[in-house]
Amino acid sequence: MEISIQSPELATLDEGAAVKALAALAQAQRLRAFRALVVAGPEGLTPGAMAEQLGVAPSALSFHLKELSNSGLASSEARGRNLIYRANFGQMNALLGYLTEHCCEGGTCEVDTQAACATC
């Protein structure tokens, strides 16, 4: 099975969609779940594998996956008796694009890593 990952230029977010996505990520368990899906890549994860990996109860994880799906940051697909959850990379990139759209007044953004990391 081939999974298509949207390119960032295909998806754009309005303010409401950006707020919804950020709200979904503004909870520690959901953020961990989303990061696990990003790491898993296009293959995705079953809720059982993710619950074990994250050390959370499957019922709690189900609630968090529903919130990520409602925000558009994750999707699910039935595969046999299992659900496979995947990060929606197009939505993730659209959110990043929304957040950085007018960064540095349209100029190139440069981060001084020495200044950003005082304990390095």
Q: What are the residue ranges spanned by the domains of the chain? A: 8-116
- What pLDDT, on the 0 to 100 scale, is given for residue 16? 95
Is the pLDDT score of 118 beyond 50?
Answer: no
CATH class of 8-116: mainly alpha
- What pLDDT, on the 0 to 100 scale, is given for residue 119? 45
Of 53, 50, 56, the residue nearest 84 (C-alpha) = 50
- What pLDDT, on the 0 to 100 scale, is given for residue 7? 42
Is the pLDDT score of 3 beyond 70?
Answer: no
Taking the CB of residue 101, how many other CB atoms lie within 10 A of it? 10
The one-character DSSP state at 30 is H
Range among 9-13, 19-23, 99-103, 112-116 rated most confident: 19-23
pLDDT digits (tens, 9 = 90+) for 31-90: 999 999 999 999 999 999 999 999 999 989 999 999 999 999 999 999 999 999 999 999
